Amino acid sequence: MARKRLFAIFIAITFIFLFIIARLFYVQIVWGKDLQSKALDQWTRNVPILSKRGNIVDRNGVILATTKNTYTVYVRPRAVTNLEEVGATLSNIFNLNKEELINKIKSTKTSEIKVVKHAEKSLIDELGTHVLNGVYFAEDVTRYYPYESLLCQTLGYTSQDGNGISGLELYYDSYLSGINGEILYEADLTGVDISNKPPSYIQATDGLNLKLTIDYELQQILESVTDEAMLKYTPKSASAILMDVNNGEILAMSMKPSFNLNAVPYNDLSLLNSAGRISLISDSYEPGSTFKVLTASANVEEYLKGNSKAFSTSHIFSSARYRYVDGSKIKCWSTHENGKHSNENLSMALNNSCNPIFVDIALSLGKETFYKYLIDFGYGKCTGIDLNGEAQGMVLPKTAVTNGDLARISFGQTIACTPLQLLNATATAINGGYVLTPHLVKSIYSTNGEILEELNYQKGEKVISSETSKIMRDYLEKVVSQGSGKQAYIENYYVGGKTGTAQKYENGTITHGKYVMSFVGFFPATNPKYICLVIVDEPVGGTYGSTVAAPLCKTIFQGVISTKNL
């Protein structure tokens, strides 16, 4: 019996011993880091050192977004020795309500409260003339945009805590944001700093910088032109985008209305969503006649390949103003005497923007061939621009397309695209046939100027021949020198382009009197460098894209010529 008792005691002691060992292992190894962190938190107080967000500069180094030196003021209630003096001084310097501040300090259950964020240095200098126990300050991050609303939607904005919310600020947030540091003060259990104990510093790491493809001088031109459009036509919106036709670099893009990036309307979500949206990449619309560049390109390419269903460049189309497709009447915009056009070839059809001739082309080529070019030119899919929120546009499934649908797609109806898709597809038609990836950032570099990453975008697939592209440049140059785009003509310069006047739909039906007017232009037409799209939504007093958007594009090109001494 005694042996059994001794054995039981031995087993119990062994169990207790193993339990203690296991508990020590758990506390020291498994739970150790968490306990160390809690101990450190009890015995120290920290003031964050916020990293400086990286700059965003244009292609020539002009700063478009930077970090302004401001400060956050903190109060640690337990370390305050003269509450009345703290309340009076802070309320006087920072224009605060003294009673509310004192009550907040007295009633808070947290070890630290923020009293002021983004305070100017002059106010902090004044605070520094006072000795206030329990009051601290540290640099914080205030995003600053030297040119206020310039490039508003594209640059985007940050939250009040400095995190990217939209535009480039969001897309490249992981590069721009950096890593925060902190100042650690030793304190007793009541939260009072221990005297004669110097603080410890953990240095912040600043964010990286972005060099854009944007040219500040050209951006100013587009801003001025879209402002002019808003004043002259009081439309719902006006926008323009300028791109290098050979490599996809976005040189400028402007959308109005906009807002001052230094005064982001965080409390007005309706304004923020409407004026802050990057409409050039996120909004889809029926492009109208500017889309005819695709239809003409497809026909010319197929003709050069020997496709008997394509029309020759000299073919004379029927002069009738109407086409009947699946029992529906499709007519030309113009009203010629006796209801007929004069004889027209494809070049003249582009000049006059005659819908029935493009219907003939699409129906002759057929759905399979036409859709091949539609997809090859990038419709129905994102371009890949380095911004969030790009839309794919809306293209009917090929299997669901009727002859009536195909007829209307040929001249830019029954299809929706983003402005950037249209611009990029037109660039493909005139740059030798290459699909591009539009982009906004050239390189990413450190605070000491070291380039860490060059963003090189190669030309994509070649979808039409160089010969077809040359023919299209010639056709579109004639649209400006002889046809509907005459108001974009610049003497002694070769400019090409295409006009568009698209009807708007509401609840599935055409809304009379509401139009989206546009012009896509490029120059020099013989060897293109710049391509520009101008869109004015519901202009008041405007009649066609040829009379509203084309002159605005001309002003942009004149500005480019003057600025670049071309």
- The residues annotated with a catalytic role in the active site are 289
CA angle at residue 125 from 119 to 129, to 5 degrees?
130
What is the distance between the alpha carbons of residues 548 and 273, in angstroms, rounded to a whole number? 27
Q: How many CA atoms lie within 13 A of 294 on its CB side?
A: 31
Which tokens is 240 given? 């323009």
Written as six digits, the tokens of 279 are 């409409």
Distance CA 245, CA 519 (A): 16
Say whether 145 sits in a helix, a strand or coil. Answer: coil
Distance CA 458, CA 463 (A): 15
Angstrom distance (rounded) from CA 409 to CA 37? 65
Kindly list the distances between the CA atom of residue 215 and the CA atoms of 220, 252, 448, 453, 563, in Å, as whole numbers in the listed order.
Answer: 9, 6, 23, 20, 11
Distance CA 54, CA 75 (A): 29
Angle in degrees, 0-180, between the axes of helices 367-376 and 292-304, rounded to the nearest 10: 110
φ/ψ of 201, rounded to 5, equals -115, 130
- Report the distance separating Cα 188 and Cα 191, nearest Å: 5
The span from the CA of 520 to the CA of 535, in Å, is 9
Residue 204: Cβ within 10 Å count: 18
- Identity of the amino acid at 41: D
Q: Are 275 and 503 in contact (CB under 8 A)?
A: no
Overall residue count recorded for the chain in this entry: 566
| Cα–Cα distance for residue pair 207/204, rounded to 1 Å | 10
Q: How far is CA 22 from the centre of its chain?
A: 56
Report the candidate in 253, 251, 212, 252 with the shortest Cα–Cα distance to residue 61. Answer: 212
The closest alpha carbon to 95, from 119, 74, 61, 75, belongs to: 119
